[in-house]
């Protein structure tokens, strides 16, 4: 096996494992799912280091492994796919925003923030869709299902995205080569 490919596969496996472990130390906000954790940080990290493909694969692994350690809440197989593997896969789309260690610090941090926002936004879309289709009956009477699903999912994803941006901006400032593959 090619040395570079092996290193990439090891980085993906390591980041997926770290993502699953970080999710175990989360702040659970809602009984039916939704927590603020650092689980997206390793997915963002590998996406910025190695690109979209590596980010998506890492997200897929996190989304498949996470339900093995924590009892997943699901009512339908498609909903399970949307709320676990697909939701974490799309976080890897942050890799669309390549960041170079040679760029100015401010420019790197802006790109990191945009990439994290985009990855989190796509994750929000998957959870929102799942919520509208399968959890609309949980909306309080008189509350539109779409509004309920958006607010429910945004209540934990926006804080998780903000924490991820802060962690990655600090990491990029203190150790830029860790965030950006040379």
Q: Which domains does the chain have, with CATH numbers?
A: 3-179 (1.10.1760.20)
Residue 1: is its pLDDT beyond 80? no
Q: Which residue has the higher pLDDT, 159 or 34?
A: 159
Distance CA 45, CA 81 (A): 23
Distance CA 24, CA 39 (A): 9
Q: Using the Cα atoms of residue 64, residue 65, residue 68 and residue 70 in order, give the sign of their dihedral.
A: negative
Q: How far apart, in Å, are the Cα atoms of 175 and each of 97, 169, 172? A: 18, 10, 5
Rg of the chain over all Cα atoms, to the nearest angstrom: 16
Whole-structure pTM value: 0.94
What's the pLDDT tens digit per position in 3-30?
Answer: 899 999 999 999 999 999 999 999 887 7
The mean predicted confidence, pLDDT, of the chain is: 93
What's the pLDDT tens digit per position in 109-136?
Answer: 999 999 999 999 999 999 999 999 998 8
Distance CA 128, CA 151 (A): 9
């Amino acid at each position: 096996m090619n040395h570079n490919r092996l290193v990439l596969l090891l980085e993906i496996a390591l980041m997926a494992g770290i993502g699953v472990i970080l999710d175990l130390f989360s702040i659970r906000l809602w009984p039916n799912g939704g927590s603020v954790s650092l689980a997206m940080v390793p997915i963002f990290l590998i996406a910025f280091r190695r690109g979209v493909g590596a980010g998506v694969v890492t997200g897929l692994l996190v989304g498949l492994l996470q339900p093995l350690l924590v009892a997943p809440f699901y009512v339908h197989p498609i909903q399970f796919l949307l709320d676990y593997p697909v939701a974490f896969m799309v976080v890897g789309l942050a890799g669309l925003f390549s960041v170079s260690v040679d760029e100015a610090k401010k420019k790197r941090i802006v790109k990191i923030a945009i990439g994290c926002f985009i990855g989190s936004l796509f994750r929000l879309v998957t959870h929102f869709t799942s919520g509208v289709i399968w959890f609309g009956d949980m909306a309080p009477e008189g509350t539109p299902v779409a509004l309920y699903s958006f607010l429910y999912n945004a209540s934990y994803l926006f804080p998780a995205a903000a924490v991820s941006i802060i962690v990655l901006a600090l990491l990029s400032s203190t150790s830029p080569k860790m965030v950006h593959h040379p």
